[in-house]
Structure formats: structure tokens, C-alpha cells
Amino acid sequence: MSLVADVVVRRGSLDLRVALRVEPGETVAVVGPNGAGKSTFLRCLAGLLPIDEGEIAVDGKVLDDPTLGVCVAPERRPMGVVFQDHLLFPHLTALDNVAFGLRGRGARRREARVAAAGWLERLGLGTCAASVPSALSGGQAQRVALARALATEPRVLLLDEPLAALDASTRVAVRAELRRHLASFDGMRVLVTHDPVDAYALADRVVVLEAGRVVQEGALSEVAATPRSRFVADLVGVNLVEGVVVDGVLITESGARVVIADAGDGPALAVIRPHSVVVSRRAEEGSARNRWATTVAGIDRRGDRARVVLEGELPLVAEITVESLEQLGLRPGDEVHAAVKATDIEVDR
Amino acid sequence: MPRRLPVGALVLAALGVAFVALPLVGLLWRVPWSRAGDVLADDATLTALRLSLVCSLGATAIAAVLGVPLAWLLARVPFRGSAAVRALATLSMVLPPVVGGVALFAALGRRGLVGQYLDSWFGVRLPFTTAGAMVAQAFVAMPFLVVTVEAALRQMDMRYEEAAQTLGASRGRVFWRVTLPAVRPALVAGLVLAWARALGEFGATITFAGNFPGTTQTLPLAVYLQLESDTGAGLVLAALMMVVSFAVLVGLRGRWLVRGGGAVIA
């Protein structure tokens, strides 16, 4: 009882080969830079694009097999899709958007609407039922799209960059919400994203795709231990700080204090991107509300950028240009100060 | 500070307005208004008006039933010779309508290429009938619908159709519930344009369907005939046609072509 996909597609300049197995209750993130073939892979799973070779099967039922001439139409696949930009039908209300899939699967108008209202309620959208998509906020539209996909009770949920259409300020909150809703769906989930943080927050396992090939896959911790490419290094290089928020300050287990801009107490995960860490020799005055005394543990030059591994009460990775690296004359063992603006820190709950 | 408008362009634009407005004003100036009531209440006028409405609406229906699938074919299905088919589909826009009428006659007349079989197999005769007038008008009017709807279908974001498919919608359901609503402003605009063209149709109608009061003599034909025999009555009818057409365009064109166009899913 799982999703098994072995996909070979050649289209134009793209030569895609991906093999993937997803168990029920599991979320697999397909990550990779733009143009790696992630969305193409998802379209194959959904049946929107025929595969050239391989096989796609759900719970043992074959959906695609070119050698047998099997290619089940999208409308007959047990899959729900949350599209990038949500793609809510602009001429229908939120309620009718959710009811659309139920109607398509043979439900009567009344029962479809009742069921759709139930889904909106479950996702906290009860008051938006009569709104048209243009009147919804980005986060609401995202939830309506999720409700619409879940309402057909698919076995597999496919999410194509579900957070890309949102602005940075709402993304964090919507991501946390999405994680809760995904947990309540007991089927198989495949998430396509170019944002490593999405993968960290939402997935059990990652498959890293570059130029149509799987370059690495496994549990996040495994991939983090041995990054095999620049993209993977970036992926695992994101600083993740776990702790408990008290009065706008996140306190880690080791006692480090991280000032965040996001209010609200409780356990949280802070995301500090390496390029937002400022490294300096002296403790300078400035607008950054976070400063930590650290020691340079290692330097990794990649092209015109350098990743500086910092040790101290809060271990961090900073990404700076090679120019600044030389200007500062950093060597392993040097004592430096790391600074981060509170507004540059994303918080996930 | 408001931007200064270019005077030269304004003058030419004003001349343009005058150019299209003057004939209307001239006509209204010549109309013998004292006779307007009598002419408009005349049975012959009302018959022609009614026939015009029936024929133009029938022609619009034909154009919709055949034109929308044709627009879809041109917009969505790549095939060899699609350029030739598109040219064919819009040919009657540039053809003199009389030529269109003659061509229709050669194809659908009683001795025509197809018409002879319509007659001998089904007993259907189109020339010189109301149905024939509708066919002639549809022939001339359909390209307006095809061109408008095809453009909208091309502009439309097809990912919405894919989303509908993943939600279990059959092809028919996708078309009726997603595609058509998405191109609705263009469809309405196309229908209005086709209807307006059919309403004013003269050459193809008179050539293919003739000029029989009550069966094929539509308002434009009545105007032409009256101008020959009774100029005053003809002018009243001509003014009636202008007013009707103008009212339709003011009422619908502004709404569907300008503002409605923005509602197309892009």
C-alpha cells in the first residue's frame, strides 16, 4: 500500500529520471533548483503528462505503464493536487471550488455543498465560504486549495510549491498550518519545493533533484551529514535553531538567546539563512538585535562565496563573499562576532 | 500636473469622430419625421423588423453552435493546415457579401454541390427561404465569433483546466464548467458582434435568399427597396436601423468588449 513511481520523461532539453516510493502517512519532499524537473515529475504523477518509460502505481494499481499502453486519465487517479498559485476557479466561490471535485465524482449538488462546507470548517475557513478567490488572502486561498484537493479523499496528495505564491510574512504562519493539516491526512504526500525550509518543516524524507537526476535522497539528517552538491550544501546549510519563545526571545537548550520579531510564546523553530548572518571583528553597534561571540571553526570557499562555520553558544553557518572574507582576513580559530537582525529570522511553530 | 495632450492627435481624433458621426447626423436631418409614425406602424415595417430579429438571432445561434467548437479547434489542436483553416474561417469577413451569397448558392442552391442532395434526399431547400436567410447571415457573421473566442481561448491559462481534471472532471465538465466561464466575456462579445453583423447583413442575404416580404425581406433589404420607391419611408427605416444598432453597441459593446475583456483568465 504505497505510491511507487519510476518515471522517465524526455521533453525538449529536459531528460528526467526519478524513482520514488512513498508510504502512507509519509511526506516526501522533492527539492531542487528551478528547472530541475520537479514540477514535470509531479505532472507525471497527476497524469497530466504521459511518461516515456517506467511505471507509476498506487496501492498496487498501475496508473502508468507505457510498455502495456496503460495511462490512466488524471480525472480517474486517486490523487489530489495543490497547485502553485493555487489555481482556484475565479468564477466560483470558495465553497463551490471545494464542491467542484465532489460534483465531478458524482455527488449531488446538495451533498457536495454540505461536504464542502465541512471541509472549509475543518480548515478554519467557515466564514469564507461565499467569498470568491479574488477576495481571499494568500493564506486563505492556500487553505481553500488544500480543502479542494482533500475533499475528493485522494490516496495521494501532491503539492506543487504550495507556499511560493505567498509573501514572506504570511509564509511562516501558513507553513505551520500546512504542517498540521498534512499530519491529519493519512495518505501519501509528495511535496515539490525549491525552498529548503519547506522541506525541513514539512517532509519526512527528501529527494534532491538536479538537472533531471536524483543526486541524493534520504532522511533529512542523513542528507545533512553528507551533502553531495552545492544545492544540497545550501539546503543543509540553513541554520535551524530549536527552542522555547518567552517574551519575544527564543531560548535554546544550551541557553543561547535569539531575539525574534514574531510575538507569541511557546516552542518554536527559528530559521536563520546563512546569507543574513553578518560577521565582524569587533562588536559593532547597529540595528541588529542579535549578537553572539563566536569562533571560526571552518571556512568553505565555493566560487565567489564562502561559508564560514562558527562555533560558540549558538553554532551558525554564515555565507559571505570571498571579498569580505579576505578583507576580514578570517582564519580558523579567530574570535569574531556574528550579528543577525531579528526581522531576518523566520519562525516556525 | 496633468500631462499636456498632443494637439495634432486630438485634432485628427476629433475629425475621426466627425467622420463616423456626420453620416448619422445627416441621415437624421433628412428623415421626414412627420411620416415616421405612419411608416413605423406599417405592417410591412413590423414584418421586416420581426423577420430581421428572428433571422439575426437564428444566425447567431448557428454561429455559436459551429463557431465555438471551430474556435476551440483553432486555438487548442495543432494540425497541418490550421493556417488555411483559419483563413477559411475568416474569409467571409473580407469577401464582398454578394460573392458570399453567390458561393452559397453554388453550394447549397437546388442545383448546388450539396444543395441537390439536400433537396432530393431530405426535401430541404434553402434558397429563398427564411432558413436560407439565416444561413446567409450566419455565413457572414460567424467569423466575428470565431476570431473573438479563439483569441480568448489562446490567452486563457490552461492550468485551470488541468486543475479541474485532477478534481475528477470529465472533458465535457471541464469545458462547460471551467473553459466556457473563463472565456465568457469574449464569448458574449463575439455573440454580440456576430448578431450585429447578421442584423445589418444585406448582400449575401439578397443573393442567396432573395427579397420576399415576410420570408426573406429583412430590414436592410426593406430599406433598400423603399429608397427606390418611397425615399421618405426608406429614410425612416434607415434611421430605425441606425438607432437599433447604435443602442445595441452602446449598451453591450462598452460593457463586454472593454471592461469584460479584463475578466478573461490570463
CB B100 within 8 A of CB B92: yes
B155 touches chain A (CB under 8 A): no
Is B55's pLDDT higher than 90?
Answer: yes
Cell 510564546 locates to A265
Same domain, A265 and A198: no
C-alpha cell at position A8: 522517465
User: What is the rounded distance in angstroms from the CA atom of residue A200 to the CA atom of residue A309?
Assistant: 20
Assigned C-alpha cell, A58? 498506487
Strand (E) or helix (H) holding A35? none
Q: Residue A227 — pLDDT band, cuts 50, 70, 90?
A: low
Helix (H) or strand (E) holding A299: strand A290-302
Count of CB atoms situated within 10 Å of the CB of A127: 11
Same domain, A243 and A329: yes
DSSP 8-state code for residue A141: H
Q: Tell me: do A95 and A214 sit in the same domain.
A: yes
CATH number at residue A212: 3.40.50.300
User: Domains, chain B, ranges and CATH?
Assistant: 35-263 (1.10.3720.10)
Chain A residues near residue B260 by CB distance under 8 angstroms: none
Contacts of B265 in chain A (CB under 8 A): 90
| Confidence bin at A235 (pLDDT 50/70/90) | low
Question: Looking at the structure, do residues A260 and A334 belong to the same domain, yes or no?
Answer: yes
Confidence (pLDDT) at A165: 81
Same domain for A334 and A313, yes or no, is yes
List the strands of the sheet with A205-210, edge to edge: A70-71, A61-65, A53-58, A3-11, A14-22, A213-219, A205-210, A27-31, A188-193, A156-160, A79-82
- Supply the pTM of this predicted model: 0.76
The C-alpha cell at A259 is 531575539
The cell for A230 is 552545492
Rounded Cα gap, residues B223 and B233, in angstroms: 8
Which amino acid is present at A251? I
pLDDT tens-digit readout, A78-134: 999 999 999 999 999 999 999 999 987 778 889 999 999 999 998 889 899 999 999
Chain A residues in contact with B184 (beta carbon < 8 A): 91
Of residues A41, A74, A87, the one with CA closest to residue A209 = A41
Q: Are residues A143 and A273 in the same domain?
A: no
Q: Quick: pLDDT tens for A284-302.
A: 777 788 888 899 988 888 7
Q: Identify the residue among A43, A44, A45, A48 best suited for mutation to test binding to B, counting B beta carbons within 10 A and taking the highest.
A: A48
Which residue range is the domain that position A275 belongs to? 239-348
> Can you tell me the ipTM of this complex?
0.75
Q: How long, in residues, is chain A?
A: 349
- CATH number for A339: 2.40.50.100
Cell (9 digits) for B197 = 453583423
pLDDT value at residue A74: 93
**Residue corresponding to grid cell 406599417:** B42
Q: For chain A, what is the domain count?
A: 2
Residue A220 shares a structural domain with residue A244: no
CA distance A87 to B26: 53
Predicted pLDDT of residue B259 = 40
Identify all chain A residues contacting B166, using CB atoms and an 8 Å cutoff: 46-48, 74-75, 77, 79-81, 149
Q: Which of A220, A237, A254 delimits the end of a domain? A: A237
Best CA proximity match to A302, nearest among A221, A209, A220, A233 = A233
Q: Could you say which of A205, A220, A237 is where a domain stops?
A: A237
Distance, in angstroms, between B186 CA and closest chain A CA? 15
Give the β-pairing of A156-160 and A79-82.
parallel
Neighbouring CB atoms inside 10 A of B37's CB total 10
Rg (CA), chain A: 22
